[in-house]
Structure 1
Amino acid sequence: MPSWLALGDSYTIGEAVAAHQRWPAVLAQRLRQAGTPIDEPQIVAITGWTTDELAQGMDAALLAPPYDLVTLQIGVNNQYRGRPADDYRNEFTSLLARAITLAGARAARVVVVSIPDWGVTRFAREQGRDRRLIATELDSYNAIASDASSRADVRFVDITGISRQHPELLADDGLHPSAAQYALWAAAIEPSVHAALRA
């Protein structure tokens, strides 16, 4: 059965939703229903992780490469904490290189997922956050991730637009996506994952 390593933060672990509602679990089910076998994803992700913290988490995790699929979605907490974009560029590029290595040096088996825009959430509104600034900074982070993915011949999936189109699809915390939004993400990511597994 093809193996899958999902690397990330709260969005990958599915903060505030049930385990079967997080997008990797939903996507795994969609793949199976489409006739593509896949093992349950091994998730290395914790709410609040930045790029450097994910790297440390990977160091501590019991990994078993090569994986047939590696997904990577990270960076929102770098932006949330006000870290420089240049730091994100360097750390993300390093994580992407590690992801490729974990996929058996097969860049075609790696899929990067963009950072959603938390500035559109009820949490941001109630906290009086500068929603335009958040959007601008996240666009910059996502451009960095997209460029690094392109340079490495890795697939990049933009789910940021979904988060902006459906600001009402939130979990009870008013910040993280609801199960319904994660389902939309899974549908958007699925074609790239199918292509990766065929590579």
Structure 2
Amino acid sequence: MLAIDQILRLPLLPLLLLQGIAVRRRALILPEPSGPRQGQCGSGPLLRLLIAGDSSAAGVGTSDQAQALSGQMAAQLATNFELHWQLQATTGHKTRDTLAQLAALPKQRFDVVVLALGVNDVTSGTSRRGFAREQSQLMQLLEDRFEPDLILASGVPQMQLFPALPQPLAWVLGRQSTRLDTVLKAEAQNRPNVLHLPFELPQDPDLAAKDGYHPSAQAYHLWAELLVQHIHAQLKT
């Protein structure tokens, strides 16, 4: 049975198309931040970390990887671990793109994998069935190729809260992002080493980058804190 937003999508289509074109025309295009995409730091037990995904995983919204998700996580984890980390993330990537990117890596061991995907699957019209299939393929690839103890799947962001998106476009994309996040949560529940973490940050203007679409450095810090807390908790058990 179709949801209300899916029913209204057809009559709203002309307006949604116009809004989508307008958003693209006035969008502030931010580059991926400079800085290293792999490294070693800290002391303690060895922890091998892979971060993969789209522009949010790549740290768009900041000027340097030190302020981005990878840098924030590395700094926090280095206080307790000898951390070997690697970032594989590209602006615009959907799940299937990240699947192909990771499939091209040599087989190696990562203790923890962090995933940040979904927004581009929403905007490109990926169906729930397609998203479920590709997420399942991605999880299986990670388990077979990298043998992680823990996969942290960041939830699909609540797109209805993106400042750059006008209504009703934000509402329609928000409803679809919720549907895909439900799919991601269900996939995680079927795999004992996968943990779904809802992407829920406070509604604070300072947590959005200047493009109104990506996280700010402050948001990356909060996101990294949440991920690191779960890494500590899960590895202890």
TM-score class, shorter-chain normalisation, is: 0.7 to 0.9
The answer to whether the 8 Å contact 2:162/2:212 transfers is: yes
| 1:124 matched residue in structure 2 | 165
The answer to whether the 8 Å contact 1:166/1:181 transfers is: no
**Cα distance in 2, alignment partners of residues 118 and 132 from structure 1:** 8
Q: CA deviation at 1:119?
A: 3.0
| 1:30 matched residue in structure 2 | 76
| 1:49 matched residue in structure 2 | 93
* Aligned: 1:66 with 2:117: no
| 1:93 matched residue in structure 2 | 136
TM-score (norm 2): 0.73
Q: Structure with the greater relative contact order (CA < 8 A, sep ≥ 6): 1 or 2?
A: 1
Tell me which of 160, 175, 197 is aligned to 1:157: 197
* Aligned: 1:174 with 2:212: yes
Deviation sequence 1:108-153 (CA, Å, 0-9, x none): 422111121233222213xx55222222111111111111111111
3-state DSSP of counterpart to 2:87:
strand
* Aligned: 1:192 with 2:230: yes
TM-score (norm 1): 0.86
Instruction: Call closer, same or farther: CA 1:28–1:197 in 2, change over 3 Å.
Output: farther
* Aligned: 1:141 with 2:186: no
The answer to whether the 8 Å contact 1:72/1:99 transfers is: no
Q: CA deviation at 1:189?
A: 1.5
In structure 1, give the amino acid aligned to 2:95: T
Instruction: Call closer, same or farther: CA 1:2–1:132 in 2, change over 3 Å.
Output: same
**Cα distance in 2, alignment partners of residues 16 and 63 from structure 1:** 30
Instruction: Call closer, same or farther: CA 1:63–1:197 in 2, change over 3 Å.
Output: farther
Structure 2 unpaired stretches of 5+: 1-45
| 2:34 matched residue in structure 1 | none
In structure 2, give the amino acid aligned to 1:9: D
The answer to whether the 8 Å contact 2:155/2:181 transfers is: yes
The answer to whether the 8 Å contact 2:118/2:157 transfers is: no
3-state DSSP of counterpart to 2:189:
helix
Runs (4+) of structure 1 exceeding 6 A deviation are: none
The alignment's C-alpha RMSD in Å is 1.9
**Cα distance in 2, alignment partners of residues 100 and 90 from structure 1:** 16
- Larger Cα Rg: Structure 1 or Structure 2? 2
**Cα distance in 2, alignment partners of residues 96 and 84 from structure 1:** 18
The answer to whether the 8 Å contact 1:117/1:135 transfers is: yes
Q: CA deviation at 1:167?
A: 4.8
3-state DSSP of counterpart to 2:157:
coil
Moved more, 128-137 or 93-102: 128-137
Greater strand percent: which structure?
2
In structure 2, give the amino acid aligned to 1:182: Y
**Cα distance in 2, alignment partners of residues 24 and 141 from structure 1:** 24
* Aligned: 1:16 with 2:54: no
**Cα distance in 1, alignment partners of residues 205 and 185 from structure 2:** 23
**Cα distance in 1, alignment partners of residues 228 and 49 from structure 2:** 13
**Cα distance in 1, alignment partners of residues 72 and 172 from structure 2:** 31
Q: CA deviation at 1:168?
A: 4.3
